Homo-oligomer: A and B are copies of this chain.
Amino acid sequence: MGAEAGAPWGWTDAHRALRVAVVGATGAVGRELLELLSAARHPRERIDCQARGRSRVALADGRAFEVRPADEAPGRCDLAFLCTPSEVSLDLAPLLVESGARVIDLSSAHRMHPGIPLVVPEINGKELDRGPRLVANPNCTTAIAALPLSVIDRAAGLEEVVVVSYQAASGAGLPGLRALEAEMREAAGVPADERESPFPAPLALNVIPAVSELDESGVSGEERKIEGELRKILGRAGLAVEATTARVPVQRCHSVAVHARLSRELAPADAASLLRAAPGIAVSEDPHGPRPRECAGTDPVHVGRIRSGARGGRSLCFFAVGDQLRKGAALNALQVAARLPARRP
């Protein structure tokens, strides 16, 4: 899939002079980032791809990027994107910062650290003005929900938010996508070769109502991330947030049904106008949309079904869909990098 829509996302010649490392380049998010860097015309010779695992090639933008083993020294770079598991990011981020690079960590390792900014540029991009060396990129579902919620919060003050998700297979990376595709073939009577799955149950023709493990309170890790990260990104430490996360048989794009309680009245038509005017958001006029299948590979968070809830104007409901590999991960990280000073710290 090409990645031209919206390119180059503020990526200037100054950014193109940076030596960029993509660590975890062979995963779903790493590959998406390579697509976006290519679309932003970043010189290929200034992209250093690294990954663990056996694969030494990352296919993106119709080309093969050579991939170095990630357990070698990270190498000298100006800007590093960590598309790595949290434990790897925890090790690697300090080393890279010490070496003089700026680091954008797409894992959850640093997100809730009080001293480290967690940024969706359209919402709290000003946190980047002081040129932080390490920036955390939010959870995919959080980023998608946060963008429209920030608009509603500024207009009418959020009091309480319920977020219920419909998350795509590729939220669990390429193994998740492959497992779903194999199960789909099997359901259609085509023998499937693949048997491994990152999911605890078949996902084809199913809904799995827990995207990650549960804590002792019965809340999933994914639900805790949405609660904590939404508060931090919106700058609303006391905001009441409640989430249910579920995996659905969709290849790409997470969807969220949002039911919000507001401090002040906000008519749905006014909410729609504000959302239409907000950067990074597309308002869907389709009465049966937005839908993940149609939104895959696009940049914005698509918002539809905007309506009042049980408290009239003091409640607002909407349905939002975003490509979790784009705005939910790689695109947001690139937008963060584009707003940072385009030079070594």
Chain A interfacial positions (CB closer than 8 Å to B): 160, 162, 164, 166, 184-185, 187-190, 200-202, 204-210, 213-214, 217-219, 227, 240-242, 244, 246, 248-251, 255, 257, 259, 268, 287-294, 304-311, 315, 317, 319, 321
* Also in contact, A214 and B293, with CB within 8 A (given A242-B259, A251-B205): no
CB–CB A257/B268 < 8 A = no
* CB pair B201 A291 closer than 8 Å: yes
CA distance A227 to B307 in the complex (A): 15
Tell me which residues across on chain B come within 8 A of A306, comparing CB atoms. Answer: 218
A305 with B208, Cβ < 8 A, contacts A162-B162, A317-B242, A317-B244 known: no
B249 touches A288 (CB 8 A): no
The residue on B at minimum CB distance from A213 is: B287
Q: List 12 A-B contacts (CB under 8 A).
A: A164-B244, A166-B207, A166-B248, A189-B190, A200-B288, A206-B291, A207-B248, A207-B291, A208-B291, A209-B305, A242-B310, A242-B317
Q: Copy number of this protein in the oligomer?
A: 2
Say yes or no: B255 contacts A305, CB within 8 Å. no
CB distance B217 to A308 under 8 Å? yes
**Known interface pairs A207-B166, A294-B201; A246-B257 also in contact (CB < 8 Å):** yes
Flag if A207 contacts B250 (CB, 8 Å). yes
Q: Decide if A205 touches B293 in the complex (CB within 8 Å).
A: yes
Contacts of A210 in B (CB 8 A): 287-288, 305
Q: Do residues A288 and B166 form an inter-chain contact, with CB atoms below 8 A? A: no
Complex: how many Å from CA A317 to CA B246? Answer: 14
Closest to A250 in B: B205
Beta-carbon contact of A293 and B162 below 8 Å: no
User: Which chain B residue lies CB-closest to A254?
Assistant: B207
User: How many Å lie between the Cα of A177 and that of B235 in the bound state?
Assistant: 45
Residues of chain B within 8 A (CB-CB) of A184 are: 184, 187-188, 204-205
Complex Cα gap A306–B214 (Å): 11
- A193 smallest CB distance to B (angstroms): 13
Bound CA–CA A308/B240 (angstroms): 12
Q: Is the CB of B240 within 8 A of A257?
A: no
Q: Which residues of B contact A289 (CB under 8 A)?
A: 201, 209
A169 vs B184: C-alpha distance in the bound complex, in angstroms?
16
Closest beta carbon of chain B to A14's beta carbon, Å:
40
Q: Report chain B residues within 8 Å CB of A244.
A: 164, 257, 259, 305, 317, 319
Inter-chain contact A206/B311, CB cutoff 8 Å: no
Q: How far is the CA of A287 from the CA of B202 in the complex (A)?
A: 15
Pairwise interchain contact A201-B288, C-beta atoms closer than 8 A: yes
Inter-subunit contact B190/A287 (CB<8 Å): no
Q: Please indicate the chain B residues that have their CB under 8 angstroms from the CB of A208 in the complex.
A: 288, 291
Closest Cβ of chain B: how far from A192's Cβ, in Å? 9
